[in-house]
Structure 1
């Protein structure tokens, strides 16, 4: 019998949730809410903040003043959920928070109630961001501070130019799809791109120009992956 990975229960399904142009409702306006708002804005979501003006901290007030978010100047009301795709609740009122949670469950809206793991459909991890690169560390709600420590150690181990390399690889992939658009080419495209990432150094990927990409792509049909120097010599 072949050996398969063992099931390790108790984890979370870690995914990259695409919320671009979706409506994220944030209940609260303090420090925790500010962090949640920034994460949602970084993901290009449409954010509405429900909180009396007196409860907004400096950062949230700034987001409101700059019109980065829509602000409803009052306490939460059930009608606020009418257009919400996701709810992030961060208020210092356990009873009110639980009410928000129950309403979200009734309407089947994904929600996160800050600091109350049993009332969360998902958790926020500690995130390292470098351009298109996002690395998240989650402790499944058990130790946020430890998640932050682990995330910092991972970030320190990564090359400083990793984000730039990923951006160039993304450009190369898009160009490759133009060169070989046929869906049947999918496995070959994946194998060839994997070969580029494995055979070229990080510095090569960072320094790759549009001309280098075009020169490299001319070798795709043959399946060859010449070194960057060879590609540039042929471009002369």
Structure 2
């Protein structure tokens, strides 16, 4: 029997949240890169005794607050999400346990049993954003799927979104009537695209 992916995807306004990354090495840089690529205005604090050169450069571009110190649970205060990336497993587990006590969402890098959330593959085309999850099983598969969707989703899809949004505002009627009308319009788009593909 195939295992189900029971994760619930959400899209977070990271500029409204406080995010802590514990660590300053290569994995911390990878997580910060992933986060700021999708959300350049993310509100991030990093704590580590030392930071890699590339991490410092990336943090400077995105106004990330850097704290040069070893991890202590006091740094969890006021945080909504925490990502533990140190190369010391006992420290990462301590971060997880402290987050459990303080009701913080936590991700311990490369350790699925100690994660409340995963940072999956993301494709962004203007206002359109697609998130990809492999249930923490295969980041490589998520990466390949991301590359695939980046190629097949047209660059001008954002214009379609903006046009449909403008059109939606002109529709009269209750919610179900508006949904029905929008379904008609988008179905016509699919039919037109199918006809063009057959020509």
| Range of TM-score over shorter length | 0.7 to 0.9
- Which of 113, 119, 126 in structure 2 is aligned with 1:118? 113
Match of 2:57 in 1: 62
Deviation at 1:68, TM superposition (A): 1.6
The CA deviation string for residues 130-184 of structure 1, in whole angstroms up to 9 with x for no partner, is: 11222222111111112211222233222232233223333443x34xx75xxx7
3-state SS of 1:196 partner: helix
In the alignment, is the contact (CA less than 8 A) between 1:25 and 1:88 conserved in 2? yes
The CA deviation string for residues 108-142 of structure 1, in whole angstroms up to 9 with x for no partner, is: 10000000000000111111111122222211111
In the alignment, is the contact (CA less than 8 A) between 1:126 and 1:148 conserved in 2? yes
3-state SS of 2:14 partner: coil
Higher deviation after alignment, 13-22 or 96-105:
13-22
Alpha-carbon separation, structure 1, partners of 2:64 and 2:163: 32
Alpha-carbon separation, structure 2, partners of 1:172 and 1:89: 45
Alpha-carbon separation, structure 1, partners of 2:63 and 2:180: 41
Match of 2:29 in 1: 34
Alpha-carbon separation, structure 1, partners of 2:191 and 2:108: 40
Alpha-carbon separation, structure 2, partners of 1:15 and 1:134: 11
Q: 5+ residue gaps in structure 1?
A: 1-6, 205-236
The verdict on how the C-alpha distance between 1:89 and 1:203 changes in structure 2, with shifts beyond 3 A counting, is farther
Match of 1:51 in 2: 48
TM-score, normalised by the number of residues in structure 2: 0.82
CA RMSD of aligned residues (A): 2.7
In the alignment, is the contact (CA less than 8 A) between 1:31 and 1:57 conserved in 2? no
Match of 1:16 in 2: 11
In the alignment, is the contact (CA less than 8 A) between 1:125 and 1:144 conserved in 2? yes
Alpha-carbon separation, structure 2, partners of 1:67 and 1:157: 30
The reply on whether 1:197 has 2:186 as its aligned counterpart is: yes
The CA deviation string for residues 46-94 of structure 1, in whole angstroms up to 9 with x for no partner, is: 1111123x32341x21243346211111122111001101101111110
Q: Which one has more relative contact order, counting CA pairs under 8 Å at least 6 apart?
A: 2
Alpha-carbon separation, structure 2, partners of 1:10 and 1:187: 30
The verdict on how the C-alpha distance between 1:104 and 1:157 changes in structure 2, with shifts beyond 3 A counting, is same
The verdict on how the C-alpha distance between 1:28 and 1:197 changes in structure 2, with shifts beyond 3 A counting, is same
In the alignment, is the contact (CA less than 8 A) between 1:40 and 1:47 conserved in 2? no
Match of 1:228 in 2: none
In the alignment, is the contact (CA less than 8 A) between 1:30 and 1:55 conserved in 2? yes
Counting matched residue pairs gives 190
